[in-house]
A and B are shown apart, each in its own frame.
Chain A
Amino acid sequence: MRLFFISSIIIISTAVSLHAETATVITKQTAIRESCRFFSPVKATVHYDDVLEIISKEGDWYRVQFKGFQGCIHKSSIEKSSISLSNVVGSEKQSTSGDEVALAGKGFNPQVEAAYKKENPSLNFQAVDRVENYKVLESKLIQFIQSGKLNLQ
């Protein structure tokens, strides 16, 4: 009887721990927001490859936990990775198109771009950097949307 009790606890705890869902950030940088919508206050900023713990799903958003912060992140900035017993028998499909995490930094990466730039010095990468460094302030974008009577999520 005692052995049955102990083994049941081991089985249940193993199953629970194997079912924990995590997600990895697949964008350079993105925000964890207070509530599950754009323009909600930012609670934390996360970066590529940061691992988040998924709490629940709310529409196109996930409620997650990261370094003591809890908030929402949009589905397009993460790749879900779950280790569950059901995966063993293949009944749960992974959520994304490719294993971004396994391929992180591989293939076409900064090293390849640097070598390509060196071989093609006439290409205007400086202008590309300027375009990318142009930042839109969220507060001004909200004002723009509101003054244009557009939809604010």
Chain B
Amino acid sequence: MKEHLYLKLILILLLAGCSSVDIGSIGRIAQQTFKAATPLSDEEEYYVGRAVAARILSSYPLLENNKLTEYVNFVGHTVAIYSDNPITYGGYHFAILNSNEINAFACPGGIIFITKGMINAVQNEDELAAILAHEVAHINHRDGVSSIQKARLTEVATLIGTEAAQRYAPAQLSQLVSLFEGSVDDVFKTLVVNGYSKSQEYNADESALSYLSRAGYNPEALEDFLERLINQGQASGGGIMKTHPATADRIEKVKEEMPSAKVDISSVQSRSKRFDNATK
């Protein structure tokens, strides 16, 4: 009798082990369906980001300046490492757009553009780091892909949920390309035309302060830059101002969230020298 009891116990446990596999499969299907309400996978976000970058680069040419590009990448990577998501599917990449507009764009997945006009508008390395940290925060928060219409993502989930293969038949591919194009349009419009929501911008500022502080940059550089925009009368108009909330409101929020740790001013000055060298 006891032997039967033990055998039953073993059988139950082994069946439980098998059922975990089934539950996992069910979970995957459920997650594919749930995907409609959540951001895309990192890999899909990367492909959307590349297409958004391609659209931006069709309007704004790259600045051909290796020395400055290397410098911007050093600053950008330094803050990205101290962000909440330091590694993305395709990694972070920073590039300069040859435009006098004061602007910066964070493409989903990790490509970040800063215009020549923005580099001219910042006064030192810490301010440049502040701008790049703000853009890294948008990527961390997945603000770009969050602007994709939910209906498109639902359709993508339905399409791929029934397809096991990773290569699509022409009809399915055509549907996916159409959804991809719509998704890229949604993100592009948000980045370049309409801007993120106020709360997304405030959150990006808040995270930027944290990344700057962790990296050893002066977080007050973000406030300094915004103050100067107001003082120079550039706080309204085109470029970044067209797509961002009122600068005075951002300054107020930034002041509220400013980390208390003090930064060695002499190190800020020494970084300013290399900023001058890189940008002259």
Would A112 and B166 count as touching, CB distance under 8 A? Answer: no
Interface size class of chain B, counting residues whose CB lies under 8 Å from the partner chain: 35 or more
B177-185, B189-197, B235-243: which lies at the A interface? B177-185
Residues of A within 8 A of B181 (CB): 116, 119-120
Residues of B within 8 A of A112 (CB): 47, 168, 173, 176-177, 180
Nearest 5 CB-CB pairs, A to B? A150-B216, A149-B267, A105-B166, A151-B216, A124-B57
Nearest B-chain residue to A104, judged by Cβ: B43
Q: Residue-by-residue, is B95-124 near A (CB-CB < 8 Å gives 1, otherwise 0)?
A: 100000000000000010000000000000
Min CB gap A10→B, angstroms? 6
Would B16 and A88 count as touching, CB distance under 8 A? Answer: yes
Residues of A within 8 A of B154 (CB): none
A27 at the interface (CB under 8 A from B): yes
Would A141 and B74 count as touching, CB distance under 8 A? Answer: yes
| A113-B13 in contact given A103-B32, A108-B180, A145-B78 (Cβ < 8 Å) | no
Would A38 and B183 count as touching, CB distance under 8 A? Answer: no
**Residues B181-219 near A (CB distance < 8 A):** 181, 183-184, 214-217
| A30-B87 in contact given A113-B47, A144-B74 (Cβ < 8 Å) | yes
Nearest B-chain residue to A145, judged by Cβ: B78
B93 at the interface (CB under 8 A from A): yes
Number of interface residues of A (CB under 8 A): 64
Residues of B within 8 A of A68 (CB): none
Residues of A within 8 A of B215 (CB): 150-151
B28 at the interface (CB under 8 A from A): yes
State the CA gap A107–B62 with chains docked (Å).
30
Residues of A within 8 A of B85 (CB): 76
| A111-B54 in contact given A4-B6, A100-B42 (Cβ < 8 Å) | no
Would A87 and B23 count as touching, CB distance under 8 A? Answer: yes
Min CB gap A115→B, angstroms? 5
A26 at the interface (CB under 8 A from B): yes
Q: Which of A15, A88, A122, A148 contacts B267 (CB 8 A)?
A: A148
Would B166 and A106 count as touching, CB distance under 8 A? Answer: yes
Best-surrounded residue of B28, B44, B267, B274 (most CB of chain A within 10 A) = B44
